[in-house]
């Protein structure tokens, strides 16, 4: 069984740029959630996708957007990057049978200069 994978591992961008982060779900999982984790904090929920539709959103502005594809992989897009967007971005997937237990990928470390 393949776990959750994310790419790239690290990324450096400048303020105002746009970024796309990618996630492949664990085999058999059709629900994907994205989180932002600042240094020393717990992950903060950005949004969740289920069957290619947004299925809930946290307190993040519209410049954070996402997509889920038919193979259940997902993208997180962030426009007009700000310095405070520097963080570890985590993707988590869960199965159709239970949307409860989420399994996390290794994360993408984004640095905005």
Partner 1 sequence: EDQVTQSPEALRLQEGESSSLNCSYTVSGLRGLFWYRQDPGKGPEFLFTLYSAGEEKEKERLKATLTKKESFLHITAPKPEDSATYLCAVLYNFNKFYFGSGTKLNVKP
Which residues contact partner 1 (rule: CB under 8 A)? Answer: 4, 6, 33, 35, 40-45, 48, 55-56, 58, 88, 90, 92, 99-107, 109
Nearer residue to partner 1 within complex by CB, 39 or 62: 39
Question: How far apart (Å, rounded) are the C-alpha atoms in residues 98 and 101?
Answer: 7
Q: What's the closest the beta carbon of residue 80 comes to partner 1, in angstroms?
A: 26
Nearer residue to partner 1 within complex by CB, 33 or 68: 33
Cα dist from 96 to 56, 81, 92, whole Å: 16, 33, 13
Nearer residue to partner 1 within complex by CB, 14 or 41: 41
Question: How far apart (Å, rounded) are the C-alpha atoms in residues 23 and 106?
Answer: 10
Neighbour count for residue 73 (Cβ, 10 Å): 16
Spatial CB neighbours of 1, under 8 Å, sequence gap ≥ 6? 26, 27, 28
Q: What's the closest the beta carbon of residue 46 comes to partner 1, in angstroms?
A: 11
Nearer residue to partner 1 within complex by CB, 58 or 75: 58
Q: What's the closest the beta carbon of residue 71 comes to partner 1, in angstroms?
A: 21
């Amino acid at each position: 069984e393949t776990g959750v994978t994310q790419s790239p591992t690290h990324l450096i961008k400048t303020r105002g740029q746009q970024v796309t982060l990618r996630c492949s779900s664990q085999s058999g999982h059709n629900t994907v959630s994205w989180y932002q984790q600042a240094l020393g904090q717990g992950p903060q929920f950005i949004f969740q996708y289920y069957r290619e539709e947004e299925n809930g959103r946290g307190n993040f502005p519209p410049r954070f957007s996402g997509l889920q594809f038919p193979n259940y992989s997902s993208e997180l897009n962030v426009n007009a990057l700000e310095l405070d967007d520097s963080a570890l971005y985590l993707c988590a997937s869960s199965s159709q049978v239970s949307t409860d237990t989420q399994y996390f990928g290794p994360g993408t470390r984004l640095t905005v200069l």
